[in-house]
Amino acid sequence: MLHMSHTSIVKVKISNVNEQFLLYAISLIAQHVLKLSNVEIEHNGIVKDYYGRTYKCQFVLKVAGMGKAFGIGFNITNDGVEIIGDEFAIPQIKTFKQLLHDAYITVATTVSLMQLGYKNLNVIYDQNQGFVIEGVRI
């Protein structure tokens, strides 16, 4: 049986990253796009690849079925966010690479709309339109 492992470190450019916005953006992708249930984000965790190499991360999304040996790591850097993980073990990492910037902007926009008086805001994900924010201004 052939086992492959390749830990990637991918950078997503986001200026002045807000930690809370990032955590919410990670949850948005995990729950609404990947349809993962029981999303758990660990602070100051470790991501391991198949061969046991470890990477310290500010935040680790534990992926169900992979146990504690795997996860998707996130680090806030001066110029954005690093996504760290074993793409062979967790193919969902590609989705985070593609959507993290859009999810982060969606979170920031939602917060701005709340500050402008919009109520009952709901974020959904549509494969054709991407993230969609629904709400009412009273």
Q: What does the pLDDT look like over 70-118, one tens digit per residue? A: 789 999 999 999 999 988 878 888 899 999 999 999 999 999 999 999 9
Q: What is the pTM of this model?
A: 0.88
How far apart (Å, rounded) are the C-alpha atoms in residues 12 and 1? Answer: 34
- Listed residue (103, 77, 104, 72) closest to 89, CA to CA: 72
Which positions ≥6 away from 132 have C-beta within 8 Å?
Answer: 123, 124, 125, 126
Q: Predicted confidence band at 34 (pLDDT cuts at 50, 70, 90)?
A: confident
Query: What mean pLDDT comes out for the span 49-67?
Result: 83
What is the per-residue pLDDT for 66?
60
Query: What mean pLDDT comes out for the span 35-53?
Result: 87
61 forms beta bridges with: 41, 72
